[in-house]
Amino acid sequence: MNQMSIVHLSAITKQFGKVTAVEGLDLLIKEGEFFTFLGPSGCGKTTTLRMVAGFYYPTKGVVKFNDRDMTTVPPEKRNTGMVFQNYALFPHMTVFENVAFGLKVRKLNKAETKTRVTDVLKKVRLDQYADRQVSQLSGGQQQRVALARAIVIEPDILLLDEPLSNLDARLRDEMRAEILRLQKEYKITTIYVTHDQVEALTMSDRIAVFNFGRCQQVGTPTEIYNEPVNDFVAEFIGETNLLPVTEVQGGGEKRTYRSEALGREVTVNDTPLNIARYGEVDELRMSIRPEAVEVSVNQFSGPNVYPGTVKNVQFTGAAVHTYVEMNEGLTLVGTALNQGPSTYLREGADVFVRLPEDQIRIVPKA
């Protein structure tokens, strides 16, 4: 399999007047990859996607497809297929005409156009709707038309900008699966933009996490979740307990940190990764995921065991979240799979909380 990078962004900066939308961005997207830009609203995802599509040119930096410099090549010469957040369909054209549009622009003959459009409409399960006006379709169906229109031109790169954000939750789940199915079937290198971390974690081969126009981390979903590089990534992806800490003692296999909020010391298995993550930075946070936090009425043995009081128990069906008040102003949350009513802790119960040494991540403040 060809593993060459198909999209290569180097040292990209994009300014709109005084606003710096994207700064110092370096990214490599591989052939066939499902790559996601994830981050809060306004962090520069759409701007970056538009620089890949050619709708914007960077203020500084270089965009390459394979080894070709595309930095200022116009969109129609890039062979990318784009799906916009608001679909941007032609409302009084039929489904067929909408999907055929890109082929018409490319001056494909009628017979070939018909074959390709029909084929792609089958793929998105809209072959029965070819003659309908787009305005008569549901949101989910319009989304499929937008996808079909992007795919029919057989793009080298498929660009999707928050394509599911206008759909209700159930339809979103369905369309996620649909997009993945199409992406695998056509083996298209895909860049997917979302602010939804669940969407990013479930769909992507790799994710780039953005904040304030800067890429914070690139990695697989498990790398991003398990080994966040800073407090922003730890907090933005999934849930976490995050506490300011200072290093008390370093070196060896374990390090000791002090949390003022906890009023205690915490020992951490210090992997090379843990250390590399913060180097000489002095503002540190410890992050521990709720599913790693153990809560029990019985005393645990070993380090990092602290007393607390159950403040609140939240039942979500599959999981139970137990909020434990440790000190005034400090609550930790522990999440466990639902093991039945006999295991639920009572509000007000005195408990012990254990923070396993190998589950704690020490990260710099972003």
Could you list the residues that contact ligand ADP (CB under 6 A)?
16, 19, 21, 39, 41-47
Min dist CB 206 to ligand ADP, Å, is 18
Question: Does the footprint of Mg ion cover residue 211 (CB under 5 A)?
Answer: no
Q: Which is nearer to Mg ion, 46 or 322 (CB)?
A: 46
* Binding site partner of 43, from ligand ADP, Mg ion, none, Cβ cut-off 5-8 A by kind: ligand ADP
Which of 14, 37, 46, 155 is in the footprint of Mg ion by CB under 5 A?
46
Binding of Mg ion by 359 (CB under 5 A) = no
Of residues 12 and 324, the one with the C-beta less far from Mg ion: 12
User: Dihedral sign, CA of 127, 133, 138, 140?
Assistant: positive
Give least dist CB 41 to ligand ADP, A: 4
Give me the DSSP letters along 49-70.
HHHHHTSS--SEEEEEETTEE-
Contacts of 289 (CB under 8 A, 6+ apart): 238, 239, 240, 241, 335, 359
Name the binder of 285 from ligand ADP, Mg ion, none, CB < 5-8 A by kind.
Answer: none
Which are the contacts of 331, defined by CB distance < 8 A and separation ≥ 6? 311, 323, 324, 325
Q: How far apart are CA 330 and CA 334, in angstroms?
A: 13
CA distance 43 to 24: 13
Smallest separation (angstroms) from ligand ADP to the CB of 120: 27
Provide, rounded to whole angstroms, the least separation between the CB of residue 56 and Mg ion: 12
> Cα–Cα distances in Å, from 315 out to 41, 74, 197?
30, 53, 22
Of 70, 40, 63, 278, whose CA–CA distance to 162 is shortest? 40
Provide the minimum distance between the beta carbon of 157 and ligand ADP in the complex, in angstroms, as a whole number: 18
Q: Is there binding between residue 197 and Mg ion (CB under 5 A)?
A: no
Instruction: Return the structure tokens found at 252.
Output: 């060896």
- How far apart, in whole angstroms, are the C-alpha atoms of residue 185 and residue 32? 11
**Residues near Mg ion (CB under 5 A), total:** 1
Helix spans in 13-138 (H): 45-53, 95-105, 110-123
Length of the chain: 366
Under the binding rule (CB under 5 A), the answer on residue 48 touching Mg ion is: no
Give the position of tokens 């991540």: 361
Query: Among residues 19 and 88, whose Cβ is nearest to ligand ADP?
Result: 19
Which of residues 46 and 189 has its CB atom nearest to Mg ion in the complex? 46
Q: Which of ligand ADP, Mg ion, none binds 21 (CB below 5-8 Å, type-dependent)?
A: ligand ADP
CA dist 234 to 197, 278, 282, Å? 12, 14, 18
Q: Which is nearer to ligand ADP, 43 or 333 (CB)?
A: 43
Could you tell me if 331 and 324 are in contact, meaning their C-beta atoms sit under 8 angstroms apart?
Answer: yes
* 359 touches, from ligand ADP, Mg ion, none (C-beta below 5 to 8 Å by class): none
For ligand ADP, the closer of residues 21 and 158 by Cβ is 21
Among Mg ion, ligand ADP, none, partner that 19 touches (CB below 5 to 8 angstroms by kind): ligand ADP
**342 vs 138: CA distance, rounded Å:** 46
- CA dist 141 and 133 (Å) reads 11
Tell the smallest beta-carbon distance from residue 160 to ligand ADP (Å).
Answer: 12
Nearer to ligand ADP (CB atom), residue 162 or residue 270: 162
Instruction: State the minimum distance, in angstroms, from the CB of residue 59 to ligand ADP.
Output: 12
Q: 36 vs 46, which CB is nearer to Mg ion? A: 46
* Residue 364 contact partner, candidates ligand ADP, Mg ion, none, CB within 5 to 8 A by sort of partner: none
Applying CB under 5 A, which part among 42-50, 206-214, 227-235, 237-245 lies near Mg ion? 42-50
Nearer to Mg ion, 124 or 159 (CB): 159
Cβ atoms of residues 73 and 82 within 8 Å: no
What residue ranges bind Mg ion (CB under 5 A)? 46
